[in-house]
Amino acid sequence: MAKEYVNIRNIKFMLHEVLDLKALNSLPKFQDYDAEAYDMAIDAIKDIGDNHLFPIFTEMDKKKAYYDENEEVVKVHPGLQKAIKALGEGGWIGAYADYDLGGQQMPNLLLNSGRVIMHAANANAAAYTLLTDGASNLIRAFATKELHDEYVPKMMAGDWQGTMCLTEPQAGSSLSDVTTSATPNEDGSFNIKGQKIYISGGDYETTENIVHLTLARIDGAPAGTKGISLFVVPKYRKEAAQLVSNDVVTAGLYGKMGQKGYVAAHLMMGESEDCKGFLVGKPHNGLRYMFQMMNEARIGTGAMAAGTVSAAYHASLQYANERPQGRHPSNKDASQPQVLIIEHADVRRMLLFQKAIGEGSIALVQLCSLYSDLAENATGEAKENAHLLLELLTPVVKSFPSEWGNIAVSAGMQVLGGAGYTDDFPLEQYYRDIRVNAIYEGTTTIHGMDILGRKVMLQNGKALKLLMLEMKETIAKAQAVDGMQSYAAKLEDAAKTLHGTTLHLIDVARKHKPEVFLSDATLYLEFFGIVLVSWLWLKQGVVAQTAIANKAMGDDYLFYQGKVHTMKYYFEYELPKIQALRDRLLSGDKLTVDIESAFIN
Ligand SMILES: Cc1cc2nc3c(=O)[nH]c(=O)nc-3n(C[C@H](O)[C@H](O)[C@H](O)COP(=O)(O)OP(=O)(O)OC[C@H]3O[C@@H](n4cnc5c(N)ncnc54)[C@H](O)[C@@H]3O)c2cc1C
């Protein structure tokens, strides 16, 4: 078992030294959160990670969740409920909610920093609370007080599970095709009928109840997204102060490649015509409401992937510091002792790659969380700008940690050689676990089409202009720090390339049909993400280089040197990848659009 899974110093570095929290700290909602409160919360979640999450990480995989046909219940690891309760009692479910609603008024910035830690400790367990949190926030925001009071306190305590029930067999990426039906009853409830597939946290025996936030179509509703409504559909509904079965039946669990301790269920609702749903908000506005949960979950998925990369990095780092193998190329003398593999340049490359992707992803999650706090709580221009930046970056915060995380964890496995492929070490589990992050909460393709087809053009490209201004500010700071000037110049070039390529693609959108414009949207998202994260690395590098110049000592000195070198790695090894992507995006050929499907068959 690896000894460590996350670098708390890094999380605090971002919170206290890199991100500009002036605007956040001036908001009345968060007035109790000074630097000390941030540190206490971070230390508290690390304790929960150490005591409740990390110890059962491997076991949750080995003794995976399963459907017990005799008892007709879903069995999960016995430690799961204790872990969920610890997170509930620690205030980490519904933490953003106001005090008078039982929350902590915790900034999303702090909550998602905590999520990185809990997911690094054990994403299989922490993910359950991510959904309960999002579902309770959705009820709080849009449902009646009665629904809130009936469901949310139990969810926040960790006693009841929340889910998001969107996907159906014919409606995955295309939610406009949802067909689950909702037939009104005289008492104001609805009879729900349909199937929901891949529902995470969808059923397990150790939770007292499960609250499915479900998309369904009221009889006679218009086709498409404008006819979708949102319902609370509990596993057990209250009748005469008793909880009775609500006809939500588990048809089976999916045999997943990874995250095997985290249930994904196929649910049948209303097979016996006795499934009641309770409308949230107004009819036909369901998808709009659900976007709140989806957008939160997208940052959460980024945090989950970033946490997994962090844990895999630490496990491979530990191995690299313990495993002797081979000698330096200049020393062929077999009578000399072998060196530790961390001495080999290529192993260092793989470690730096993981660190660059992991800490770059954490920085991105934290930045987007800060924007979400400002978008919801600031006023005037600050609010509008944060909202636009968050809209623009949501596809990236979900996709960058997930896609690059896959490659980073693979590099982590490679560091271990043969041992990485065996289940004596956790790398093979991290490798399987992280794969799904690029699929759920919208595939990377869907986010590519979102950023290129919609987000960069919001308000005539205002969000992109705001981002360019933010980058300019960092570039100006870097130009004034010895040793950072060449990296400032590289980011300036990259930002120009991003801007120019985006303008070119918008011109393509004017001249060609959407199929052509959007055909390489996934590659555009990749290109955008690499540039964005190079900005976040320059921000960190400037702070670290300044601290070194100011004579940082001891562990601090090592930490800051690590930051500067990882920044250099990112600029020298990763940023150049945008050249090939730019060439592809500027190319006029429409190979993937014009080719006949028959030629691929
Ligand atoms: C383990 C797991 C847990 C999940 N948990 C939940 C959950 O809790 N709740 C929930 O509601 N759902 C959940 N999902 C479902 C998940 O959100 C969907 O699997 C995902 O959105 C993709 O839908 P799909 O599987 O139907 O794939 P499809 O939509 O069929 O996509 C297949 C491929 O086609 C591509 N594609 C689809 N449409 C387009 C298009 N218009 N243009 C270009 N390419 C396209 C996709 O990018 C993908 O590569 C989960 C899935 C998994 C695997």
Looking up residue 28, the CATH number of its domain turns out to be 1.10.540.10
Q: Which mutation among 215, 439, 592 tests ligand 1's pocket best, with the greatest number of atoms within 8 A of CB? A: 439
> What is the residue with the minimal CA distance to atom 37 of ligand 1?
173
451/498 same-domain check = yes
Angle separating helix axes 521-549 and 380-415, nearest 10 degrees? 90
**CA distance linking residue 511 with residue 505, whole number of Å:** 10
439 Cα–ligand 1 center, Å: 6
- Rounded to an integer, what distance in angstroms lies between the CA atom of residue 574 and that of residue 201? 36
> Which CATH number is 180's domain given?
2.40.110.20
Same domain assignment for residues 551 and 581:
yes
Using a 10 angstrom Cβ sphere, with 0-12 exposed, 13-18 middle and 19 or more buried, the burial of residue 310 is buried
Nearest-angstrom CA–CA distance, 2 and 312: 9
C-alpha 310 – ligand 1 centre gap (Å): 26
How far is ligand 1, taken at its centre, from the CA of residue 351, in Å? 32
Rounded to whole angstroms, the Cα distance separating 574 from 15 reads 25
Residue 342: how many other CB atoms lie within 10 Å: 16
Whether 40 shows a pLDDT value over 70: the answer reads yes
Measured CA to CA, the distance from residue 181 to residue 194 in angstroms comes to 6
Q: What's the pLDDT at 274?
A: 98
Residue 127 lies in a domain: yes
- Burial-class residue 426 by CB neighbours within 10 Å (0-12, 13-18, 19+): buried
Q: Are residues 120 and 168 in the same domain?
A: no
The DSSP element (H or E) to which 205 belongs, if any, is none
State the DSSP code for 221: P
Q: How far is CA 465 from CA 18, 75, 392, 459, 487, in A?
A: 22, 51, 11, 10, 21
**pLDDT greater than 80 at residue 514:** yes
3-state secondary structure of 442: coil
* 265: nearest Cα among 273, 256, 275, 274: 256
Domain co-membership, 13 together with 92: yes
Question: Would you say residue 441 lies in a domain?
Answer: no
Q: Distance between CA 527 and CA 498 in Å, rounded?
A: 8
Alpha-carbon gap, residue 176 to 446, rounded angstroms: 14
Q: How many CB atoms lie within 10 A of CB 402?
A: 29
Pick the residue whose CA is nearest to atom 32 on ligand 1. Answer: 173
Mean pLDDT for 514-523 is 97
Question: No. of H helices and E strands in the chain?
Answer: 20, 12
Taking only the tens place, the pLDDT of each residue in 299-333 is: 999 999 999 999 999 999 999 999 999 999 999 89
Element (H, E) at 25: helix 22-25
Domain termination residue (choose one: 122, 156, 190):
156
Which atom number of ligand 1 is nearest to the Cα of residue 166? 11
- Please give the distance, rounded to the nearest whole angstrom, from the Cα atom of residue 268 to the centre of ligand 1: 19
Query: What are 46's strand-pairing partners?
Result: none
List the Cα angle 174/175/176 in 5-degree steps: 90
Ligand 1: which of 257, 291, 443, 515 to mutate, judged by most atoms within 8 Å of the beta carbon? Answer: 443
Q: Report the nearest-CA residue for atom 44 of ligand 1.
A: 445
Q: Which phi and psi (to 5°) does residue 323 adopt? A: -90, 115
In this predicted structure, the answer to whether residue 454 has a pLDDT above a threshold of 70 is: yes
Angle at 449 between CA 445 and CA 454, to 5 degrees: 155
Q: What is the 446 CA–ligand 1 centroid distance (Å)?
A: 9
Does one domain contain both 273 and 254?
Answer: yes
**Structural domain boundaries enclosing 85:** 8-156
Block residue for tokens 């590098």: 541
Global pTM reads 0.98
Residue 1 — very low, low, confident or very high, per pLDDT cuts 50/70/90? low
Length of the chain: 601
Strand pairing category for 242-245 and 248-253: unpaired
d(CA 141, CA 105): 15
**Which residues have C-beta atoms less than 6 Å from ligand 1?**
163-167, 172-173, 198-200, 256, 264, 436, 439-440, 442-443, 445-446
Mean pLDDT of 202-223: 98
Give the angle subtended at the CA of 302 by the CAs of 298 and 306, to the nearest 5°.
Answer: 170
Mean pLDDT of 480-485: 98
What is d(CA 371, CA 363) in angstroms, rounded to the nearest whole number?
A: 12
Rounded-to-integer distance, Cα 54 and Cα 122, Å: 5
Look up residue 468 and give its DSSP letter: H
pLDDT confidence of residue 228? 98
Does residue 378 have a pLDDT over 80?
Answer: yes
Beta bridge partners of 242: 239
- Is 485 part of a structural domain of the chain? yes
∠ at Cα 120 (301, 554), nearest 5°? 125
Residue range 213-230: mean pLDDT, rounded: 97
Q: Which two tokens stand for residue 532?
A: 């964005």
Give how far Cα 305 sits from Cα of 18, 310, 323, Å.
22, 9, 27
C-alpha of residue 477 to centroid of ligand 1, in Å: 42
- Residue where a domain stops, chosen among 125, 140, 156: 156
Is 2 a residue whose pLDDT tops 90? Answer: no
Q: How many CB atoms lie within 10 A of CB 173?
A: 11
- Does 173 share its domain with 72? no
- Give the chain's radius of gyration (CA, Å): 24
Is the CB of residue 369 less than 8 Å from the CB of residue 108? yes
Residue 9, pLDDT > 70, answer yes
What are the CB-based long-range contacts (under 8 Å, 24+) for 545-553?
Answer: 545/481, 545/482, 545/483, 545/484, 546/481, 547/17, 549/481, 549/482
Specify whether 452 is located in the same domain as 556: yes
152 plus 179 within the same structural domain: no
Same domain, residue pair 92 and 168: no
Q: At 3, is the pLDDT very low, low, confident or very high (cuts 50, 70, 90)?
A: confident
Interval 67-86 mean pLDDT? 96
Residues 133 and 271 in one domain: no
220 with 89, same domain? no
Angle at Cα 81 formed by Cα 78 and Cα 86, nearest 5°? 130
Instruction: For the beta carbon of residue 272, count every other beta carbon within 10 angstroms.
Output: 10
**Residue 385 covered by a domain:** no
Where does a domain end: 137, 156, 175?
Answer: 156
Q: How far apart are CA 384 and CA 380, in angstroms?
A: 6
Decide: residue 45, CB within 10 A, 0-12 exposed, 13-18 middle, 19+ buried.
Answer: buried
Spatial distance between the Cα atoms of 133 and 293, rounded to a whole number of angstroms: 9
Number of domains in the chain: 3
Position 311 in a domain:
no
Q: Tokens 């919360």 — which residue?
A: 41
Residue 314 counted as domain residue: no
Q: Tokens 């007292």, residue? A: 208
- If you take atom 30 of ligand 1, which residue's CA is the nearest one? 172
Residues 377 and 29 sit within 8 Å (Cβ to Cβ):
yes
Mean pLDDT of 243-255: 97
Could you tell me if 64 and 143 lie in one domain? yes
Q: What separation, in Å, do the N-terminal and C-terminal C-alpha atoms of the chain show?
A: 45
What digits encode the pLDDT tens for the residues 138-191?
Answer: 999 999 999 999 999 999 999 999 999 999 999 999 999 999 999 999 999 999
Of 478, 279, 321, nearest in space to 415 by CA: 321
Q: Give the mutation target among 177, 403, 440, 515 for probing the ligand 1 site: most ligand atoms within 8 A of CB.
A: 440
Q: Is the pLDDT of residue 133 over 90?
A: yes
Q: Answer whether 342's CB lies under 8 Å from 380's CB.
A: no
- 377 assigned to some structural domain: no
Q: At what angle do helices 108-142 and 35-48 cross, to 10 degrees?
A: 80
| Residue 325 maps to a domain | no
Decide the pairing of beta strands 181-184 and 209-218.
parallel
- Number of Cβ within a 10 Å radius of residue 512: 15
CB atoms inside a 10 Å sphere around CB 20: 10
What's the gap in Å between 313 CA and the centre of ligand 1? 28
